[in-house]
Amino acid sequence: MSTEKEVTIYDLARKLNISIATVSRALKDDPVVSKKTKKKIADLALELGYRSNNFARNLRTSRTNTIGVIIPRINSSFMSSVIAGMENVANSEGYNLIISQSSESAEKERVNAATLFNSRVDGLLVSLAYDTDSLAHFEPFTKKKIPLIFFDRTADKTEGTCIQIDNLRAAYEATTHLISQGNTRIVHITATPKRNVYIDRLQGYQQALADQRIAFREDYVIVGNLSQEAGADAAARIMEMKPLPDAVFVANDNCAVGCMTALKQAGIRIPADIAFAGFNNDPVSTVIEPNLTTVNYPGYEMGQIAARSLIDHLNGASSIHSTNTIILRSELIVRESSIRRKTNP
């Protein structure tokens, strides 16, 4: 039982005095091979420690059983969950995941796409970088009919499937909630409205204002990169506003936390002076005081669904190659940060 040289189907065939064709078929569980020979082959394969050579197989079949993933960054709780969900279904379906980060740079995204293309991935799962304008770097994939699925940060007009939540509605609900608590001067902190998620959230915010007959004010929209630091910067700007806004809706919990912390340090009380609502239901939202009202966003599930859709597609299970969009359920979680009138006096 030496592991020196790799065992091949030739070895199995020789030992059993049968042809490699039969061995190959048996190993693939081809129904055309008799149960008996199958068993013999399987047993010997196990005994000799045979493992199939994927390169040879791939070379023949030109499939890799590998899925490429491009994400802006892996270091948010949300994105980790997404990846975990993808890994979960990919693994159980015999696919491997190759993950690459664009670091929010369109240029790096381009390079990553090229690399994955050369790696001959069977399909691609993408969440776009902040500043990605053109989708030209994905053309090689679409040209070759390699399935492409966008999730979370999706593309406006694309051939591929999109998986996301209803950002507009979620933002609408969050804003409406803030208004229902008696707030009218509501600031919105977000990122450059290039990506659907931020555009839609902004629109939801605007629509909620409009529906409640509150005038939209351009200067109430603060644009940054949604980091904690950006939150602190936004806090500084908010404190300069007169009169002070009475609520803030942030497109991301992490940024909201940065902003809240800065405001608190300046002596502003939350929610008494300014109410807050965030987005993502990041773990920090239950650590910050007061706990942050936010939109729950099923990351793990989104990852699972994205991977599942892609694999179904690869297996020909889903014949639809038309532009279809999957909208996941999301929900507002109301916590202390936005509740104006406390029950205790």
Residues that bind DNA (CB under 7 A): 6, 8-10, 17-22, 24-25, 27-28, 31-34, 36-37, 50-53, 56-57, 59-61
Q: What angle do CA 270, 276, 277 make, to 5 degrees?
A: 155
Chain residues that interact with a second copy, rule: CB under 8 A:
3, 6, 51-56, 58-59, 62, 64, 73-77, 79-81, 83-84, 87-88, 91, 96-101, 112, 115, 117-120, 140, 143-144, 228, 254, 257, 261, 283-284, 287-289
Cβ nearer to a second copy, comparing 5 with 35 = 5
Q: Whole-number minimum distance, CB 84 to a second copy, in Å?
A: 5
Distance of CA 104 to the CA centre of its chain: 14
Place of tokens 């293309």: 117
Cβ nearer to a second copy, comparing 53 with 324 = 53
Residue 101 binds which one of a second copy, DNA, none, with CB within 5 to 8 A depending on kind?
a second copy
Residue 269 binds which one of a second copy, DNA, none, with CB within 5 to 8 A depending on kind?
none
Residue 3 binds which one of a second copy, DNA, none, with CB within 5 to 8 A depending on kind?
a second copy
Cβ nearer to DNA, comparing 53 with 225 = 53
Q: Whole-number minimum distance, CB 184 to a second copy, in Å?
A: 29
Q: Whole-number minimum distance, CB 169 to a second copy, in Å?
A: 27
Q: Whole-number minimum distance, CB 289 to a second copy, in Å?
A: 6
Helix H, strand E, coil C: the string for 87-147 is HHHHHHCCCEEEEEECCCCHHHHHHHHHHHHHCCCCEEEECCCCCCCCCHHHHHHHHCCCC
Q: Whole-number minimum distance, CB 258 to a second copy, in Å?
A: 9
d(CA 146, CA 231): 40
Side-chain-side CA neighbours of residue 8 (13 Å)? 10
Q: Name the nearest CA neighbour of 197 among 129, 107, 254, 247.
A: 129
Cβ nearer to DNA, comparing 7 with 202 = 7
Q: Whole-number minimum distance, CB 80 to a second copy, in Å?
A: 4
Q: First vs last Cα of the chain: how many Å apart?
A: 78
CB 123 within 8 A of CB 313: yes
Residue 237 binds which one of DNA, a second copy, none, with CB within 5 to 8 A depending on kind?
none
What counts of helices (H) and strands (E) characterise the chain? 12, 12
Cβ nearer to a second copy, comparing 37 with 80 = 80
Place of tokens 């023949």: 60
